Structure 1
Amino acid sequence: MYKWWVLLTGVVNIAVASDSAVLLELASKKMADPALYQQALRQGEDRVLLCGYCHGKDGNSVRSYIPNLASQTPDYLINQFESFARGERESR
């Protein structure tokens, strides 16, 4: 699951507020091409540093009031990224 989380953060900025199916398809295409996959992982790893401060380096929070991301599905994560981008959800 951690690889999906990292990969999605490397893809999601390209098409924020797009349909989640489009983003999942884009992620799948990047996973099929080794060079694009490595590029997306590098971009995603840079971006998840901020998320990791609260949600844990591997997506497992050590604080009871901060949710784990490691067990979330790619579709759920994309929908949450989109909600944050549209201002429909805020970080607390």
Structure 2
Amino acid sequence: MQGDPVALKAAIEAGRKASFFCANCHGETGISKTPEVPNLAGQNPAYLLEQIRKFGSGERQDAFMQGLIKVLKDEERVQMALFYAAQAAPPTKANAAQAARGKDLYAKLCARCHGELARGNDLYPRLAGQNAVYLQTSVARYRDGTGIRNNQLMAIATAPLKNDDIAAIAQYLTQMP
């Protein structure tokens, strides 16, 4: 589909239509208006599909998301992932001093998986332009082993972080294009 621009455009448009119920939380173009909810814009489509699968199977726990995902057909899941991936993920303003400190921490702890520009890939999410509150909450959940977010590599990478370190990394990432 990605080799056929006409089919891709049609899939993206179908994904826009299929994502109507997602817009309430994730925004019409994948830019959330709620700080605790992640932006989906610019995310890698393969990564998004895997997260949709995990919500559908119960590997990721969120009763609301799990209920919504179950009503989607496989084709709609693909179309939605392509739609969100095609949307721009604009950076937001950040605290410059914290962002500078966060850049160093990110380079040491995060870049090897999420990429130097924090744009992720098939396996790891795009973090550039993400909501700072969402980032802080997610990283703290990995670090604290709450069971809400489970990933052994993330638990190891985040273990040494203090809350102010997490805030600095979030400030760095939110202002990334």
Q: TM-score range by the shorter chain?
A: 0.5 to 0.7
Letter in 2 for 1:60: I
- Change beyond 3 A, Cα 1:71–1:49: same
Residues 1:52 and 2:52 are matched in the alignment: no
Give the deviation of 1:38 after TM superposition: 3.0
Highest Rg: 1 or 2? 2
Residues 1:75 and 2:42 are matched in the alignment: no
Give 1:41's aligned residue.
Answer: 12
Give the deviation of 1:31 after TM superposition: 2.2
TM-score normalised by L of structure 1: 0.55
1:5-41 Cα deviation digits (max 9, x unpaired)? xxxxxxxxxxxxxxxxxxxxxxxxx122233223312
| Unpaired segments ≥5 residues, structure 1 | 1-29
- Change beyond 3 A, Cα 1:32–1:52: same
- TM alignment of 1:1-92, pairs within 5 A: 30-89=1-60, 90=62, 91=65
Letter in 2 for 1:86: S
TM-score normalised by L of structure 2: 0.31
Q: Percent identity?
A: 37
Give the deviation of 1:81 after TM superposition: 1.0
Letter in 2 for 1:32: G
Letter in 1 for 2:11: A
| Superposed structure 1 runs of 4+ greater than 3 Å apart | none
Q: In the aligned structure 2, how far is the partner of 1:87 from the partner of 1:64?
A: 24
